[in-house]
Structure 1
Amino acid sequence: MADARVKPHQLAVAARCGLQVPATLITNEPEMVSDFARSAGGRIITKSLATMVTVDDVRGSGVLYTAEVAEDLWGDPGIAATAHLFQELIEGVDIRLTVVAGEFFAAEIYPTDLGGPVDIRAHNENVSYRVVEVPDGVRRRVLDLLRELRLAFAALDFRVVPGRGWIFLEANPNGQWAFIPELRDPIAQAIADFLETSCR
């Protein structure tokens, strides 16, 4: 899990397994960001290099959300302080795909506020869900990805884009899964079955 949570590693493995991934730049050189943003269509996001929990004296603990980078920040000198992960902004329908020992559970996520934050998590409960099937090609490639990452469980995020299909965003080796009402019981059962079988 410690290795698999590192997003640049995930992206490299996902691309090697044949999944589509966003155009990505990892850099601490501010001057590179502008060129990348223009080549990516003029809209980019930034996200943490690995799953992280933040602690704030006022708000308590939380996670760092993916956020769009405004054009006036593309050359921000603060970028030089450490490595940053930038990606093209993928506009489409959010998918949460949970895989448990080869069983697939997927749902589209639709925010109530279509003009809200880029990161679907920032919408909290102001979303609706629709259970969907996973295309065979995506299934095969995700199984290859999880095999290479040595994970029996993962909660993966995709965006589906008309004309491009399923774009892999990231995999959460210990991701949340109980928030989608229609999938809560089937996923819980799959986890219980896997644990019961593994402990025999």
Structure 2
Amino acid sequence: MTRPSPVLVVTRLEDTTADVVIEELGRRGVPVVRLDPADFPDTVTVKARVDVSGLVGEVRTATRTAALNAVRSVYWRRPRPYAAPAGLDGQDARWCADQARFGLGGILTALPGAHYVNHPWRNRAAEYKPAQLSAAARCGLHIPPTLVTNDVGEARRFVAEYGPAVYKPLYNSDYADPQGRGLTVWVEEVAAEDVDAGVGRTMHLFQQRVDKVADIRLTAVGDRLFAVRIDGSPGLDWRRHYDDLTYTLIDTPPDVAKGAQDYLAAFRLTYGAFDFGLDASGRWHWYECNPNGQFAWFPEHITSRITTAIADRLQYPDRDRR
């Protein structure tokens, strides 16, 4: 009797979003192999050959084995970086980590016949905010006036013309205080007099502040859309106030639904987590799309719907592939 093809979940151990999807696949009897590339080579072994028939072989973790040409789907979540074996440092460690990334990483991104949610190269391409903004505008989504610059004078002029304005980081880099505690750069309002010479040291993103009455997180899984209205945030960035928020499933306007679908197609994504601001007139103002956004922090009745949609895509990859 042929064993069912597994789903490969590429992520770190502490990943609640992946956990709920894995649990759902388990309830369905779908085999899952969970792999974190940072565990290579300590607890991960790979044997791969390429010949006229393509890529064949296997990847083995401490508890599971998957044939490379039998993986039905890959759920690419949040793996840790590739690493060197313990005991190496300096250029030896860097060399080993690079060989792992281009070797194991190259294999994991080229599994024959596998459906990716999302392919990591598609995730990476869709993480650049200027590219996001440009694509969203082309797809008909409403974008607040935005400036990306390292020109101090231009930044001051923009904030004076379009204020109230906000500053947003272009990428959420790891950042820590002297004690090693992680820090986050939040969305903050900025005035023209706040723009100083530091702007000239790297790229900055300034945007007209939306006069919003609520926030919206639109989670797209293929053509299935889950729009959640978020109320109760006392500040600009609702991610700072989870305990104060309420969540309500709402309908997605047809023009926004089309724009979101066109956006996914532009980046060849299956999954995307879109953020919008909702103004008093009912207009949805597009902020960004995280191609690998979390969702398991929603209440269970919302999380379960998104989980089901993702599990369906992974279990039945031949349905409406991108």
Other-structure match for 1:78? 198
Contact 2:157–2:192 at 8 Å: present in 1 too? no
Distance 1:136 1:22 in 2: 20
Match of 1:170 among 284, 288, 297: 288
Instruction: Give the secondary structure class of the aligned counterpart of 1:158.
Output: strand
Instruction: Structure 1 unaligned segments of length 5 or more: list them.
Output: none
Contact 1:5–1:51 at 8 Å: present in 2 too? no
Equivalent runs, 1:14-93 vs 2, <5 Å: 14-40=136-162, 42-58=163-179, 60-74=181-195, 76-92=196-212, 93=214
Equivalent runs, 1:172-191 vs 2, <5 Å: 172-181=290-299, 182-191=301-310
How many residues align? The count is: 195
What is the deviation of 1:107? 0.8
Contact 2:156–2:193 at 8 Å: present in 1 too? no
Letter in 2 for 1:142: A
Instruction: Give the secondary structure class of the aligned counterpart of 2:243.
Output: coil
Instruction: Structure 2 unaligned segments of length 5 or more: list them.
Output: 1-122
Other-structure match for 1:161? 279
Distance 2:228 2:161 in 1: 31
Letter in 1 for 2:203: A
Task: Tell which deviates more after alignment, 22-31 or 51-60.
Answer: 51-60
Distance 1:171 1:132 in 2: 18
Distance 2:224 2:183 in 1: 29
What is the deviation of 1:54? 2.7
Task: Tell which deviates more after alignment, 177-186 or 4-13.
Answer: 177-186
What is the deviation of 1:150? 1.2
Which is bigger in relative contact order (C-alpha 8 A, separation at least 6)? 1
Q: How big is each residue's C-alpha offset from its partner over 1:107-133, in whole Å with a ceiling of 9 and x where there is no partner?
A: 1111253xxx31110113221111111
Other-structure match for 1:123? 241
Distance 1:145 1:64 in 2: 26
Distance 1:68 1:130 in 2: 27
What is the deviation of 1:70? 3.3
Instruction: Give the secondary structure class of the aligned counterpart of 2:236.
Output: coil
Structure richer in strand, relative to its length: 1
Distance 1:132 1:59 in 2: 40
Distance 1:191 1:144 in 2: 19
- Identity over the aligned pairs, expressed in percent? 35
RMSD: 1.8
Letter in 1 for 2:228: A
Distance 1:58 1:118 in 2: 28
Task: Tell which deviates more after alignment, 170-179 or 159-168.
Answer: 159-168
Distance 2:164 2:180 in 1: 29
Equivalent runs, 1:95-110 vs 2, <5 Å: 95-110=216-231
Other-structure match for 2:317? 198
Instruction: Give the secondary structure class of the aligned counterpart of 1:2.
Output: helix
Change in 2 beyond 3 A, CA 1:162/1:59: farther
Q: TM-score normalized by structure 2?
A: 0.57
What is the deviation of 1:80? 0.5
Distance 1:165 1:129 in 2: 18
